[in-house]
């Protein structure tokens, strides 16, 4: 087997001793047991597997481990404070009832953070467009939109 | 302590389940990996209908990492997956029930039918080996079209040569015919209720394990009802002792009906886990979900409404053909009958209704309940035909509805239900306010100035929830009663664990049920824990569907809590040296009436478990109570919806501009959760009306088999909804006065959307628009009308 692939996951260096064609989503879930990242489809449509690579939202089912050599991957576990509190975006989802079954939630939160950090999000329409890569079947998106607006404020964005 | 505390009912309390979901520490079935885990994949039929001439598994068996390959021959002696409702045809014959094998032996009947199970050390190895299974098919013609299935020369099953599963009827046909004979006006329409795929974002999954230590099995599975899953699997298919199978439905990522049913995959896994001697995990890929999750709707209906000259409804005649798919799924037969035709009165005092339903087999995936289940189809029939009648009579659609609303309760409908309570005028009046109907004319003008056609559509729905009064269900063909069980276990320190047979897969039961228990027992929310989804913990349960959890499951919990209080009074009477009849319970305290002598809930709990001073001669120690609840009637949530759309006549594109919903769910425990349920239901129904369409081609190939081909609503397909819940008419027959809210949005919204589009296009003389109203279809309809 080739040399392990070096990357950072949630701030810690890891050597991924897996075939480079392994999907990042599979590597995170099956090898690192970071099961907060979910897989909801096989066509990169649903966004449940969204993580950050070097701070930008990416669907991890559409990235091979070989592509993240030397890069920094952050998952929902990585943005969660260790002290039992919540990231401001997570807190906003809680207070606005922006989640129901929870399956799309990690991906939605990761997309939301990327959106408010890097894209226009002043209006409902901009937020809706910004999360257009993430499916939610439970909420009808309304409270997710509200959560992101509130989360953005809490993040000072 | 003695001051009355604020009730926990009706408060927007944030959800306690959210922390784990928001931080990624929820535990869904696929997150569970067991010691010595192995992985499964299914070899599935690429054909809609074919004889299997031969299967060669030799190469696959010798592929790297393969632990076992099973085919239909291996499971031929096992039972088929059962159907829970026996529908009897008009001619008195029982419905046709073909065997639904867990692995097909001789004939595949839909694309995706499972023909082999491959188990290997890794998923990649299982998939690689599955590709080596050689199946020799003799391809047969496929039956696909719902409307013509009964005339097709090909039979899906030999026991139903005309593909008819049953032909069922309800109502007084003679009375309906007589009313039509004297009608001043008849409105008639034929339409399709489009087939949909449920698409919970978590795909179905299972992980089955056999333990030689005690000859028992454990199954982790994406289920809305683990006890039902266990009962059906052990008693009807595998012939295992029920107590030797523990079924755990951990966090489940949405159900929408699709996770009610006993499926072939988890059943085969349980069976195979003993033979392989390793835990076996299977998780559907999305493409498998499209092929094998039970689909919904798929009706072809002709409806006729008879009215007198004043617009009063005289009678409704409905003829529906419903697609069952290739096999009868767990609830399939009752959806287009018991949960559909009984709702055809809607909110109206129509005196006579007759409905005939023909259910047909086709070479498509099984069709069963999807959010709303029968009631969206009924509401679509009623609210489209009423809207069209108003148009034909040149009456305002709201006025025609008002004129025909049921006003006196209880109301016995001509299709078998007795509505206990409701106030339909109130929800219609209120929705017109929150929809700003008064501003509509100005908005229409503004749209016209942009070259866009604005339309407004109403829908007034009713649903029957809280399934089910078991005697009524039994009379209608249910093979089991539909009770619910609840247990309130008080620990020595006064903390409480509640065990419920309901299952939460997004509904927030851990919060809502805590509210009702903490409120009832006068203890803190943090002192109550809710356990669900595990047959090893929970005594019994029929699970969550049909918006039944709070009305039925919640009531069982309340009854158990009542028993806890009753026993607590006995203990308190002893401790306080008072008569039991003198003990009052309020605000978490047992008090001798009219005195300040009292014992806190926790003190009584402590005394119940570790007593020094206890009336052992009269009372057993302990404070743990079970209750079962069988509702005496369905609940009848109802409401009024108004939708506004803008249609671009040049492109056919429909933009959802405004949607207002006013629902009467009776009492509401957590308004935040209830609004969220309505939002989600609306999105589901609007998706059906505008976007979602499951299409098989004439060969039975699913051509909408991925999210690239099947349009699930995305955030920018929808608008913000204006949602309000009135607490006008609490349910009269459960102690909480609750009705259920999980399906309302999906039931009421499709006709509101279509009515709005038809209204927008009325200048073209268009009287109907098929669902989903995609831009291409709308454009085509406009072009046809112009010719």
CA dihedral B506, B511, B512, B518 (to 10 degrees): 160
pLDDT over 70 (residue B4) = no
Mean pLDDT of A94-99: 98
CATH 3.10.20.30 residue ranges in chain A?
5-79
pLDDT over 80 (residue B240) = yes
User: In this predicted structure, what is the pLDDT of residue B1?
Assistant: 42
**Domain contains B668:** yes
Distances (CA, A) of B134 to A21, B101, B120: 27, 20, 17
* pTM greater than 0.95 (yes/no): yes
Q: Nearest-CA neighbor of B545 among B228, B291, B202, B235?
A: B228
Identify all chain B residues contacting A140, using CB atoms and an 8 Å cutoff: 679-684, 713, 718, 721, 745
Give the nearest partner residue to B679 out of A105, A106, A139, using CB atoms: A139
pLDDT tens by residue, B333-390: 999 999 999 999 999 999 999 999 999 999 999 999 999 999 999 999 999 999 999 9
Burial (Cβ within 10 Å: 0-12, 13-18, ≥19) of residue B735: middle
pLDDT band for position B472 (cuts 50, 70, 90)? confident
Identify all chain B residues contacting A36, using CB atoms and an 8 Å cutoff: 23-26
Q: Is B28 helix (H, G, I), strand (E, B) or coil?
A: strand
Residues B407 and B547 in one domain: no
User: In this predicted structure, what is the pLDDT of residue B613?
Assistant: 86
Identify all chain B residues contacting A127, using CB atoms and an 8 Å cutoff: 715
Q: CA A85, A91, A95: angle at the middle one, nearest 5?
A: 130
- Cβ within 8 Å of B, A 28-67: 29-30, 33-43, 45-46, 48
Q: Nearest-CA neighbor of B625 among B684, B561, B710?
A: B561
Residues B267 and B350 in one domain: no
| DSSP structure class, residue B234 | I
CB contact under 8 A, B672 and A97: yes
Residues B230 and B321 in one domain: no
Give the nearest partner residue to A42 out of B25, B286, B684, using CB atoms: B286
pLDDT over 90 (residue B776) = yes
Q: Where are the alpha helices (DSSP H) in B164-205?
A: 173-181
pLDDT tens by residue, B336-351: 999 999 999 999 999 9
Least confident of A71-85, B185-199, B208-222, B612-626: B612-626
Distances (CA, A) of B480 to B330, B332, B483: 12, 15, 9
CA distance B715 to B687: 11
- Comparing alpha-carbon positions, the chain B residue that sits nearest to A80 is B23
CB contact under 8 A, A94 and B22: yes
- Rounded to a whole number, what is the distance in Å from the CA of B336 to chain A's nearest CA? 24
pLDDT over 80 (residue A137) = yes
**Domain contains B613:** yes
CA distance B248 to B221: 6
pLDDT cut 90: percent of chain B above it: 95
User: In this predicted structure, what is the pLDDT of residue B143?
Assistant: 98
CB contact under 8 A, A140 and B745: yes
User: In this predicted structure, what is the pLDDT of residue B3?
Assistant: 56
Identify all chain B residues contacting A105, using CB atoms and an 8 Å cutoff: 21-22
pLDDT over 80 (residue B2) = no
pLDDT over 70 (residue B157) = yes
How many other CB atoms sit within 10 Å of the CB of residue B415?
Answer: 22
CA distance A66 to B44: 31
- Rounded to a whole number, what is the distance in Å from the CA of B446 to chain A's nearest CA? 20
**Domain contains B543:** yes
- The ipTM value here is 0.98
CA distance B737 to B556: 13
Residues B567 and B508 in one domain: yes
Mean pLDDT of B296-311: 98
- Comparing alpha-carbon positions, the chain A residue that sits nearest to B13 is A95
Query: Which tokens is B714 given?
Result: 């995305």
CA distance B179 to B160: 35
What are the strands of the beta sheet with B185-193, ordered from one edge? B164-171, B352-361, B313-325, B299-307, B185-193
Residues B580 and B546 in one domain: yes
CA distance B729 to B517: 23
CA distance B398 to B440: 14
Q: Are B17 and A89 in contact (CB under 8 A)?
A: no
CB contact under 8 A, A104 and B508: no
Residue range(s) defining the domain that contains residue B608: 18-24+483-629
- Comparing alpha-carbon positions, the chain A residue that sits nearest to B685 is A140
Q: Nearest-CA neighbor of B384 among B575, B190, B541, B643?
A: B190
Mean pLDDT of B727-740: 93
Mean pLDDT of B89-93: 97
CA distance A124 to A130: 10
Query: Which tokens is B339 given?
Result: 């949960």
State the CATH number of the domain containing residue B247.
Answer: 3.90.1170.50
Q: Which of B12, B17, B23 has the highest number of chain A CBs within 10 A, making it the mutation to test binding with A?
A: B23
**Domain contains B547:** yes
| DSSP structure class, residue A151 | H
CB contact under 8 A, A131 and B715: yes
| DSSP structure class, residue A48 | T
- Rounded to a whole number, what is the distance in Å from the CA of A86 to chain B's nearest CA? 8
**Domain contains B11:** no
- Comparing alpha-carbon positions, the chain A residue that sits nearest to B28 is A103
CB contact under 8 A, A137 and B720: no
Identify all chain A residues contacting B24, using CB atoms and an 8 Å cutoff: 34-37, 75-77, 80, 106
CB contact under 8 A, B675 and A97: yes
pLDDT tens by residue, B575-585: 999 999 999 99
Give the CATH fold of the A5-79 domain: Ubiquitin-like (UB roll) (3.10.20)
Q: Nearest-CA neighbor of B528 among B542, B509, B503?
A: B509
Residues B611 and B594 in one domain: yes
pLDDT over 60 (residue A46) = yes
Q: Is A127 in CB contact (< 8 Å) with chain B? A: yes
Residues B504 and B524 in one domain: yes
- Comparing alpha-carbon positions, the chain B residue that sits nearest to A91 is B22
Residues B712 and B613 in one domain: no
Give the CATH fold of the A88-154 domain: DNA polymerase; domain 1 (1.10.150)
Give the nearest partner residue to B22 out of A29, A105, A127, using CB atoms: A105
Query: Which tokens is B635 given?
Result: 């609940």
Residues B217 and B306 in one domain: no
Residues B323 and B461 in one domain: yes
Residues B767 and B670 in one domain: yes
CB within 8 A of B213, min separation 6: which ones?
none
Residues B620 and B753 in one domain: no
Give the nearest partner residue to A139 out of B17, B202, B676, using CB atoms: B676
CA distance B350 to B632: 24
Q: Which of B599, B629, B659 is the last residue of a domain?
A: B629
What secondary structure, in 3-state letters, does B412-424 show? ECCCCCEECCCCH
User: In this predicted structure, what is the pLDDT of residue B603?
Assistant: 96
User: In this predicted structure, what is the pLDDT of residue B98?
Assistant: 98
pLDDT over 90 (residue A67) = yes
**Where is pLDDT greater, at B496 or B466?**
B496
**Domain contains B596:** yes
Identify all chain B residues contacting A131, using CB atoms and an 8 Å cutoff: 715
**Where is pLDDT greater, at B727 or B764?**
B764
CB contact under 8 A, B506 and A94: no
Query: End-to-end distance of chain A based on CA atoms, in angstroms?
Result: 45
pLDDT band for position B611 (cuts 50, 70, 90)? confident
CATH 1.10.150.120 residue ranges in chain A?
88-154
Mean pLDDT of B448-467: 97
How many other CB atoms sit within 10 Å of the CB of residue B290?
Answer: 26
Identify any residues that bridge with B485 across adjacent strands, giving them in sequence order. Answer: B628
Mean pLDDT of A21-48: 97
**Domain contains B502:** yes
- Comparing alpha-carbon positions, the chain A residue that sits nearest to B37 is A30
Mean pLDDT of B511-531: 97
Give the nearest partner residue to A46 out of B21, B27, B707, using CB atoms: B707
Q: Are B362 and B156 in contact (CB under 8 A)?
A: yes
Count of structural domains within chain B: 3
| DSSP structure class, residue A62 | G
Mean pLDDT of B746-758: 98
Q: Which of B11, B22, B721 has the highest number of chain A CBs within 10 A, making it the mutation to test binding with A?
A: B22
**Domain contains B147:** no
């Amino acid at each position: 087997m080739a040399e392990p692939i070096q990357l950072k996951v949630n701030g810690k260096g890891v050597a991924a001793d897996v075939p480079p064609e392994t999907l990042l989503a599979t590597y995170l879930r099956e090898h690192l047991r970071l099961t907060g990242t979910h897989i909801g489809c096989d066509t990169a449509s649903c966004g449940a597997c969204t993580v950050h690579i070097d701070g930008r939202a990416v669907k991890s089912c559409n990235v091979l481990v070989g592509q993240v050599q030397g890069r920094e991957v952050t998952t929902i576990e990585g943005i969660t404070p260790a002290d039992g509190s919540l990231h401001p975006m997570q807190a906003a989802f809680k207070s606005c009832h922006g989640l129901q079954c929870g399956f799309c939630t990690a991906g939605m939160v990761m997309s939301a953070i990327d959106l408010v950090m890097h894209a226009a999000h002043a209006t409902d329409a901009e937020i809706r467009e910004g999360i257009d890569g993430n499916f939610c079947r439970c909420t009808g998106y309304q409270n997710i939109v509200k959560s992101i607006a509130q989360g953005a404020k809490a993040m000072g964005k | 302590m003695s001051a009355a505390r604020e009730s926990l009912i009706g408060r927007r309390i944030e959800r306690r389940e959210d922390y784990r979901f928001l931080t990624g520490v929820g535990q869904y079935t696929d997150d569970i990996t067991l010691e010595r885990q192995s992985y499964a994949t299914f070899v599935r039929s690429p054909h809609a209908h074919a004889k299997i001439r031969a299967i060669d598994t030799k190469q696959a068996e010798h592929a790297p990492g393969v632990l076992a390959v099973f085919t239909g021959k291996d499971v031929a002696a096992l039972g088929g997956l059962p159907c829970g409702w026996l529908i009897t045809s008009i001619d008195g014959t029982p419905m046709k029930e073909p065997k639904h094998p867990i692995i097909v032996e001789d004939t595949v009947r839909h694309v995706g039918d499972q023909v082999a199970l491959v188990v290997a050390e890794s998923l990649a190895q299982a998939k690689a080996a599955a590709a080596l299974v050689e199946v020799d098919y003799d391809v047969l013609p496929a039956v696909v079209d719902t409307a013509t299935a009964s005339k097709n020369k090909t039979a899906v099953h030999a026991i139903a040569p005309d593909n008819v599963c049953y032909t069922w009827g309800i109502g007084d046909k003679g009375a309906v015919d007589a009313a039509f004979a004297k009608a001043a006006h008849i409105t008639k329409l034929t339409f399709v209720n489009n087939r949909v795929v449920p698409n919970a974002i978590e795909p179905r999954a299972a992980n089955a394990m056999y333990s030689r230590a005690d000859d028992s099995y454990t199954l982790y599975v994406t289920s809305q009802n683990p006890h039902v899953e266990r009962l059906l699997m052990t008693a009807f298919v595998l012939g295992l002792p029920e107590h030797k199978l523990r079924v755990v439905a951990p966090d489940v990522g949405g159900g929408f009906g699709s996770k009610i049913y006993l499926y072939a995959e988890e059943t085969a896994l349980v069976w195979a886990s003993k033979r392989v001697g390793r835990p076996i995990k299977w998780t559907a890929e999305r493409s498998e979900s499209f092929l094998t999750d039970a689909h919904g709707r798929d009706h072809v209906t002709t409806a006729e409404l008879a009215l007198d000259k004043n617009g009063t409804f005289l009678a409704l005649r409905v003829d529906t053909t419903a697609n069952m798919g290739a096999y009868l799924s767990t609830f399939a037969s009752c959806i287009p009958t018991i949960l559909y035709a009984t709702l055809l009165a809607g909110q109206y005092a129509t005196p006579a209704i007759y409905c005939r339903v023909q259910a047909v087999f086709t070479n498509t995936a099984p069709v069963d309940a999807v959010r709303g289940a029968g009631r969206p189809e009924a509401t679509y029939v009623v609210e489209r035909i009423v809207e069209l009648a108003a148009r034909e009579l040149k009456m305002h659609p709201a006025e025609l509805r008002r004129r025909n609303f049921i006003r006196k309760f209880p109301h016995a409908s001509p299709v078998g239900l007795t509505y206990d309570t409701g106030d339909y005028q109130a929800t219609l009046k209120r929705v017109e306010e929150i929809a700003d109907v008064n501003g509509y004319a100005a908005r229409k003008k503004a749209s016209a100035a942009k070259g866009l056609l604005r339309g407004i559509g109403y829908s007034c729905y009713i649903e029957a929830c809280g399934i089910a009064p078991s005697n009524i269900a039994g009379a209608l063909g249910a093979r089991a009663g539909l009770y619910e069980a609840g247990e309130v276990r008080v620990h020595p320190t006064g903390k409480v664990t509640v065990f419920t047979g309901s299952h939460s897969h997004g509904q927030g039961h851990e919060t809502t049920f805590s509210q009702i228990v903490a409120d009832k027992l006068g203890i803190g929310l943090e002192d109550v824990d809710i356990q669900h989804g595990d047959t090893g913990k929970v005594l019994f349960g029929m699970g969550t569907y049909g918006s039944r959890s709070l009305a039925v499951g919640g009531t069982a919990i309340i009854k158990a809590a009542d028993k806890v209080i009753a026993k607590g009074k006995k203990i308190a009477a002893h401790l306080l040296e008072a008569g039991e009849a003198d003990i009052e319970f309020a605000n978490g305290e047992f008090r001798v009436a009219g005195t300040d002598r009292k014992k806190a809930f926790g003190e009584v709990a402590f005394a119940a478990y570790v007593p020094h001073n206890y009336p052992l001669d009269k009372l057993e120690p302990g404070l743990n109570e079970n209750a079962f609840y069988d509702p005496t009637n369905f609940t009848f949530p109802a409401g009024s919806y108004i939708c506004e759309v803008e249609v671009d006549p040049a492109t056919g594109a429909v933009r959802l501009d405004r949607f207002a919903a006013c629902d009467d769910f009776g009492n509401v425990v957590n308004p935040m959760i209830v609004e969220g349920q309505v939002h989600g239901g609306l999105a589901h129904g609007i998706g059906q009306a505008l976007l979602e369409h499951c299409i098989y081609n004439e060969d039975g190939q699913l051509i909408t088999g991925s999210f690239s081909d099947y349009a699930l609503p995305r955030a920018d397909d929808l608008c913000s909804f204006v949602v309000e819940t009135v607490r006008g008419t609490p349910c009269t027959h459960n102690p909480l006065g609750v009705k259920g809210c999980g399906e309302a949005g999906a039931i009421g919204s499709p006709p509101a959307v279509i009515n709005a589009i038809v209204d927008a296009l009325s200048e073209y003389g268009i009287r109907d628009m098929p669902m989903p109203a995609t831009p291409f279809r709308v454009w085509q309809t406009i072009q046809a009308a112009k010719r």
